[in-house]
């Protein structure tokens, strides 16, 4: 796509973790990750849009600090305005020159951006109609938001000539590698708090024979232990739709007993200290906070022998002192694997960055939910919209 001199709306996802009291940016991985696309747009007039968190949350803030960090990572002159679509924003968008980047404020300050609906409904929003009239091109580099169908993710795509950004391209390439012909043995490490986004991934990759071992941690480990008739304690509020997911986990355990690997021991807090116990001897009704030492050894051995490793979600409550062993050790084991390694999800990526080992993975995804949706065999509305736009462009090229 020819972008030189064009007025481009660049949708990115620079929704980042912020310090709860100072709102200082804690991890700028997502900001750094869009620099390749910005470099390629150095002769264009770029207007950059992103969201930060959601209405009602403490980190639902302005993008001013994000623009400040962006200056470090791109060669263009970067400006930020405290407006999304009002007269001030429209006036400033009109003034952007080639080689300049204008960062609009948090798109979700505009209430319509929070609507998740079909693209044909979204094109009728004021947000899409007004924005579309101001631009020549739309570029979507927001892979981490591509599982949403929101105005600036799927609406603008319907009205403007559109393309995927370089980060979007790279992220989709990584998932294709995993879903087409991953080098074997292929090992998944799935933890975190949510079972609803991990169970569909396990079902899909095992049904398509794309994984040899799935090592479980976090809340998914507790669900699958229970599905294997080990009564580990868990907090009923940890799993929504428990009965439904327990049934799905039981079916998986029955069909793929050798591929699904659950912890052999778990770590609990007793009198303020970490203690490790075999999975069938919980010290109390309190829920476990990490996988145990024997599990870490067992998982590390399996990871050492892998040619492909994919990890999403921490193995324990790593923020609590003494309960980060599982997550840290497994990350280190994955970092030492010579094969193809992918980590995703804010917690794991943040931890890898803090420990300075992020460059030791083949691919560090900027996404959590979007990547899991793809691995679960679902399509992403943001990507589908780009595919439709590409077909339109090809159609008009053939007509002329
Ligand atoms: C995320 O971090 O999950 C993405 O930025 C998408 O945000 P959302 O989950 O609030 O839609
Ligand atoms: Mg999310």
Residue nearest to atom 11 of ligand 1 (CA): 145
- Which ligand minimizes its atom distance to the CA of 144? 1
Please indicate whether residue 30 is annotated as part of the active site. yes
**Model confidence band, residue 301 (pLDDT cutoffs 50, 70, 90):** very high
Please indicate whether residue 86 is annotated as part of the active site. no
- State the catalytic residue, choosing from 313, 368, 369, 382: 369
How much distance in Å is there from the Cα of 317 to the middle of ligand 1? 21
- State the catalytic residue, choosing from 30, 170, 213, 328: 30
Segment 272-292, tens digit of pLDDT: 999 999 999 999 999 999 999
Supply the mean pLDDT for the chain.
Answer: 96
- Which ligand minimizes its atom distance to the CA of 147? 1
**Model confidence band, residue 400 (pLDDT cutoffs 50, 70, 90):** low
Asked whether the predicted pLDDT for residue 129 surpasses 80, the reply is yes
Burial 148-173 (b: 16+ CB within 10 A, else e): bbbbbbbbbbbbbbbbbbbbbebbbe
% of the chain beyond a pLDDT of 70: 100
How much distance in Å is there from the Cα of 158 to the middle of ligand 1? 22
Virtual torsion, Cα 393, 397, 398, 400, nearest 10 deg: 140
Please indicate whether residue 298 is annotated as part of the active site. no
The mean pLDDT of 97-105, rounded to a whole number, is 98
Segment 53-72, tens digit of pLDDT: 999 999 999 999 999 999 99
- State the catalytic residue, choosing from 191, 344, 346, 350: 346
Pocket of ligand 1 (CB under 6 A): 13, 15, 54, 144-145, 148, 368-369
Segment 330-387, tens digit of pLDDT: 999 999 999 999 999 999 999 999 999 999 999 999 999 999 999 999 999 999 999 9
The residue whose CB lies within 8 Å of the most ligand 1 atoms, and thus the one to mutate among 116, 117, 152, 369, is 369
The closest alpha carbon to 29, from 375, 393, 367, belongs to 367
How much distance in Å is there from the Cα of 195 to the middle of ligand 1? 17
Residue nearest to atom 6 of ligand 1 (CA): 145
- Which ligand minimizes its atom distance to the CA of 366? 1
Return the higher-pLDDT residue of 20 and 216.
216
Asked whether the predicted pLDDT for residue 140 surpasses 90, the reply is yes
How much distance in Å is there from the Cα of 144 to the middle of ligand 2? 8
- State the catalytic residue, choosing from 170, 194, 198, 222: 194
Q: What is the pLDDT of residue 396?
A: 82
Asked whether the predicted pLDDT for residue 234 surpasses 90, the reply is no
**Model confidence band, residue 125 (pLDDT cutoffs 50, 70, 90):** very high
The mean pLDDT of 294-311, rounded to a whole number, is 98
Report the distance separating Cα 148 and Cα 369, nearest Å: 10
Range 373-380 contact pairs with CB under 8 angstroms and sequence separation of 24 or more: 373/147, 373/197, 374/172, 374/175, 374/179, 375/175, 375/178, 375/179, 375/201, 375/204, 375/205, 375/310, 376/197, 376/200, 376/201, 376/203, 376/204, 377/200, 377/204, 377/208, 378/147, 378/200, 380/146, 380/147
The mean pLDDT of 22-32, rounded to a whole number, is 94
The mean pLDDT of 84-110, rounded to a whole number, is 97
Segment 158-214, tens digit of pLDDT: 999 999 999 999 999 999 999 999 999 999 999 999 999 999 999 999 999 999 999
Segment 37-52, tens digit of pLDDT: 999 999 999 999 999 9
**Model confidence band, residue 225 (pLDDT cutoffs 50, 70, 90):** very high
The mean pLDDT of 89-118, rounded to a whole number, is 98
């Amino acid at each position: 796509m020819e972008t030189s001199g064009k007025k481009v709306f660049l949708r990115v996802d620079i929704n980042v973790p912020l310090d709860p009291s100072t709102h200082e940016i804690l991890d700028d991985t997502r900001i750094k990750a869009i620099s390749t696309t910005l470099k390629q747009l150095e002769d264009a007039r770029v207007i950059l849009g992103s969201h930060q968190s959601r209405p009602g949350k403490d980190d639902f803030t302005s993008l001013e600090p994000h623009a400040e960090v962006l200056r470090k990572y791109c060669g263009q002159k970067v400006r930020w305005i405290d407006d999304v679509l009002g007269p001030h924003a429209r006036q400033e968008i009109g003034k952007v020159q080639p080689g300049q980047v204008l960062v609009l404020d948090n798109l979700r300050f505009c209430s319509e951006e929070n609507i998740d609906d079909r693209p044909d409904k979204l094109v009728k929003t004021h947000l899409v109609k007004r924005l579309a009239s101001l631009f020549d091109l739309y570029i979507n580099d927001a892979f981490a938001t591509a599982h949403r169908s929101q105005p600036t993710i799927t609406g603008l795509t319907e009205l403007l000539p559109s393309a995927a950004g370089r980060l979007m391209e790279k992220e989709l390439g990584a998932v294709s590698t995993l879903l087409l012909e991953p080098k074997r043995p292929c090992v998944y490490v799935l933890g975190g708090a949510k079972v609803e986004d991990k169970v569909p991934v396990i079902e899909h990759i095992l049904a398509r024979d794309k994984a040899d071992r799935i090592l479980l941690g976090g809340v998914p480990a507790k669900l699958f232990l229970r599905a294997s008739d080990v009564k580990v304690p868990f907090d009923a509020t940890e799993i929504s739709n428990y009965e439904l997911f327990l049934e799905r986990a039981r079916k998986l355990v029955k069909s793929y007993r050798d591929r699904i690997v659950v912890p052999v021991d778990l770590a609990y807090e007793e009198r303020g200290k970490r203690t490790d116990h075999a999975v069938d001897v919980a010290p109390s009704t309190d829920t476990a906070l990490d996988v145990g030492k024997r599990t870490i050894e067992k998982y590390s051995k399996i990871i050492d022998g892998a040619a492909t490793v994919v990890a999403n979600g921490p193995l324990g409550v790593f923020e609590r002192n003494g309960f980060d062993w599982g997550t840290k050790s497994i990350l280190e084991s994955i970092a030492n694997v010579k094969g193809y390694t992918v980590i995703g999800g804010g917690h794991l990526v943040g931890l890898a960055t803090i420990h300075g080992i992020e460059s030791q993975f083949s691919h560090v995804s900027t996404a959590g939910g979007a990547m899991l949706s793809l691995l679960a065999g679902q399509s992403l509305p943001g990507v589908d919209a780009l595919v439709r736009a590409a077909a339109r462009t090809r159609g008009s090229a053939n007509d002329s």
